[in-house]
Chain A
Amino acid sequence: MADRKNASPVTFGFGRRDFLRGAAALPLLAGLPKMASAEDTVELLVWAWTPDTAVQAEMFMKKFPNIKIKIENQGGGKPHYDKLRNAIQAGSGLPDVAQMEFNSIPSFRALQALADMGPYGANDVKDKFIDWTWAAGSDGDAVYSIPWDSGPMGSIYRDDIYAANGLTPAKTWDEFAESAMKLAKDKPGTYLTNFVGASDAGWLGSQLWQIGARPFHVNGEEIHIEINSQKAKDLLNYWQKLVDAKAVDTTPGWTTEWFAGMDEGKYATWIAAAWSPIVMQQSMKKSFGLWRAAPMPMWEAGKNVTSNWGGSTFSAFTTSQHLAEATQFAVFMGSDPEAARLWNTKQFLFPVLKELAADADLMGNAFEFYGNQPVNQVFAESLSQVDPTFEFAPFQDYADQILTDALAKAIGGAGTMADALDGVQDAVVTYAQDQGFTVV
């Protein structure tokens, strides 16, 4: 809670006094209920973890001076969701709006916590968004979240290490395995990558997504669960072979050891999402500028199927007293082209707007982190190849926890990861039934 103190929005160069008062009278969206007049200011509390969200909030407040945005950062990922659930459980303390990753939407919908922004005009911007990103947070005309950024996958690699060892970015996973074996043999102590699948379920989800495994299919109160599918086992057997051969390392992801490993050149590749440099550039000073991006390896040569990892949306909560304003904010954050452009070029957030994904100028933007490579092209291509049929469970966090517990144990030497999936399947089915779902 110490964050609260520091959570006041950063003022960005321009004073709020300079705002064009006239702009306040113009509603952004046609069909919106009459907005609060400029005299009575509405304050919205927003929980978001992306660094400098306040900059964009300032842009919003400039346009809508009658809405004051207060940003609080509760920490990214698990702490954020734990606190949200806690507030839902307690029945108080929820923000008006919160950042919400694509894979968390179903579980918060299951808690009946997300407000339908459809009646407040959210559907007016529907067509601006890349179809699957919009579909992930809506149900017919009901809109539970408005996409903000996406996480198309790519291969983020160290140009210097690849060049010194005669490697090129692998086009297929077979090639990737060969390179991993070769590098481990040629240069002991350096690995092509570090397998984080046993510690980072979100990442593993992106890999299951790409290979074609579909662990969940939800239909109202019915749920189909197939965590131990053959495709999932194929994926884990692939990595098991590399782990057993010590061709890849298995340091848990998101630890100091792991970040340092990438910065120091112990790991040459991270198969990761477009947004990954946000976290990389914070802790990787030595390797800044040495990274490049290439398409992620494919399971079948010539058949380009990619996946998405993370990326987030904005959701409003049913407890909010200002749903109209909350919708306005979420719509602005997701669909304002200027804001999205700024976020992409400054913060590596990859756009979810059709207009921006096709914008030649933005796609050609050179990033210093990538040695001035215009990486947006790589990720835009990946985004167009995402298979949109992947679904998350309404209890995704719990399934992820069981999954990582089991896989980590297998990595530790108790059996194989593919075999561990059977136990996870049983545990998750039992849990789903216990939660009242009909498992089909």
Chain B
Amino acid sequence: MTERALRAQPRNRVIVSKTVAPYLFLAPFMLLFAAFLIVPLIYAFDISLYKKAMVGGVKFVGADNYVKAFTDPKFWEGVGVLFKFAFLQIPVMIGTALVFALILDSGVVWAKSFFRVSFFIPYAVPAVIATLIWSYLYGPAYGPIGQTARSLGFEAPDFVSAKWILASIANIAQWEYMGYNMIIYFAALQAIPTDLEEASVVDGASAFAYATRIKLPMIVPTIIVTVVFSIIGSLQLFTEPFLIQNMARSIINSNYTPNYYAYTLTFVGQQPNYAAAISFLLGGVIAIVSYAFMLLANRRIDR
């Protein structure tokens, strides 16, 4: 149908010009986007330019909070912890998610949808609940793992010691988000045309070679997106250390991660202005790291 033919259609509904229509469709999204993202951002930025003291009240301080945040060792310590966390957790999570997605996609698995759903279910469990479950499991004296170990004559593993705490938190994140990433990969794999498989079989490729040489390279863009999501998520870590703090008080302090630090500053230290600056700085760090990763990944792909 030509455009003219379209125009010739009788219209008995409200007539909206073509330039306005898209905005109307976008309106619900834009409204929510503005209310829950743009406005809070402006608000946070605004308060980050002031300082409220118990004595002396509120005064405008310009970039002071940012200067202070930029040179605050407590902030950078937190960023350091999260870099360690991200390097530890993301490759393991992405790796296992890929393996499971490839296995599910390969068609050799019995009860495929059952496994697909079971791997995904932890993602539906709120992080708070997940952390509570795991902190019970980690309990050195009365957790089931510790008790089993002792009844078998071994020493109970100390999951919350200085050496293991980060790995223990990473394990919670792994449990929560592996299934989520796996579903994304699985969907990407399903979109690969089956004629590629037929062609590779004709060419004599094994299932393994087909998976690693053809399927994996084809979903690289998806992998990059999930890694970026994971980087963003990792650098915002809060719930898990917040809830597990009591089990490892000597390691998890109130500025263990930047978000935890911002929380402490706001709700314990009565410094919401400074906390807003910390949050923006963290946003900056996340943007730089994500962008750097994408740049790096794209360069690899171009080669």
Contacts and interface: CB of A to CB of B under 8 A. Distances in A.
B267 interface: yes
B268 interface: yes
Nearest to B55: A436
A199 B56 CA distance: 32
Given A398-B268, A408-B253, A199 B246 contact: yes
Interface string B264-280: 10011110100000000
A412 interface: yes
Contacts of A374: none
B141 A261 contact: yes
Contacts of B56: 436
A389 interface: no
Contact of B254 (A89, A199, A401): A401
Contact of B142 (A254, A256, A408, A435): A256
B267 A82 contact: yes
A198 B247 contact: no
With a 10 A CB-CB cut-off, give which of B162, B255, B270, B272 has the most chain A CB atoms: B270
A413 B142 CA distance: 24
Interface string A78-92: 000010011001000
Contact of A255 (B54, B162, B247, B254): B247
B247 A434 contact: no
A82 B249 CA distance: 20
Given A260-B141, A397-B268, A408 B54 contact: no
Interface string A383-406: 000000000001101100100110
A435 B54 contact: yes
A409 interface: yes
With a 10 A CB-CB cut-off, give which of B53, B55, B254 has the most chain A CB atoms: B55
B54 A436 contact: yes
A110 B54 contact: yes
Interface string B163-186: 000000000000000000000000
Contacts of A401: 254, 264, 268-269
B272 A89 contact: yes
A252 interface: yes
Interface string B124-144: 000000000000100111100
B78 to A, nearest CB: 13
Interface in A333-371: none
Interface in B93-148: 136, 139-142
Given A252-B247, A431-B269, A257 B254 contact: no
Contacts of A266: 141
**Size bracket, chain B contacts:** 20 to 34
A409 B248 CA distance: 10
A394 B269 CA distance: 11
A417 to B, nearest CB: 11
B250 A85 contact: no
A256 B137 CA distance: 12
Given A85-B270, A397-B268, A198 B250 contact: yes
A85 B250 CA distance: 27
Contacts of B249: 198-199, 252, 404, 408, 411
A434 B139 contact: no
A350 B41 CA distance: 48
A409 B251 CA distance: 7
A221 interface: yes
A405 B142 contact: no
Nearest to A252: B249
B250 A412 contact: yes
A437 interface: yes
A320 to B, nearest CB: 22
A111 interface: yes
Contact of B250 (A398, A411, A431): A411
Interface string A256-292: 1100110000100000000000000000000000000
A105 to B, nearest CB: 14
A423 to B, nearest CB: 12
A395 B254 contact: no
A435 B55 contact: yes
B253 A409 contact: yes
Interface in B207-232: none
Nearest to A86: B267
A221 B250 contact: no
Contacts of B247: 252, 255, 257
A413 B248 CA distance: 13
Nearest to A253: B246
A257 B140 contact: yes
A412 B272 CA distance: 30
Contacts of B255: 405
A437 B55 contact: yes
A272 B56 CA distance: 39
Contacts of A413: 250
A437 B56 CA distance: 9
Contacts of A252: 246-247, 249
A256 B244 CA distance: 12
A237 B258 CA distance: 33
B139 A256 contact: yes
Contacts of A111: 54, 270
Nearest to B139: A257
Contacts of B270: 85, 111, 395, 398, 435
A217 to B, nearest CB: 16
B208 to A, nearest CB: 46
A434 B246 contact: no
24 contacts: A82-B268, A85-B270, A86-B267, A110-B54, A111-B270, A198-B249, A252-B249, A255-B247, A256-B139, A256-B142, A257-B247, A260-B142, A394-B54, A398-B269, A401-B268, A409-B253, A411-B249, A412-B162, A412-B250, A435-B53, A435-B54, A435-B55, A436-B56, A437-B54
Given A111-B270, A436-B56, A437-B54, 18 more contacts: A85-B267, A252-B249, A256-B136, A256-B142, A257-B142, A257-B247, A395-B54, A395-B269, A395-B270, A397-B268, A398-B270, A401-B268, A408-B250, A411-B250, A435-B53, A435-B54, A436-B53, A437-B55
Interface of B: 53-56, 136, 139-142, 162, 246-247, 249-251, 253-255, 264, 267-270, 272
- Going nearest first, the 5 A-B pairs with the smallest beta carbon separation are A412-B250, A436-B55, A436-B56, A436-B53, A405-B253
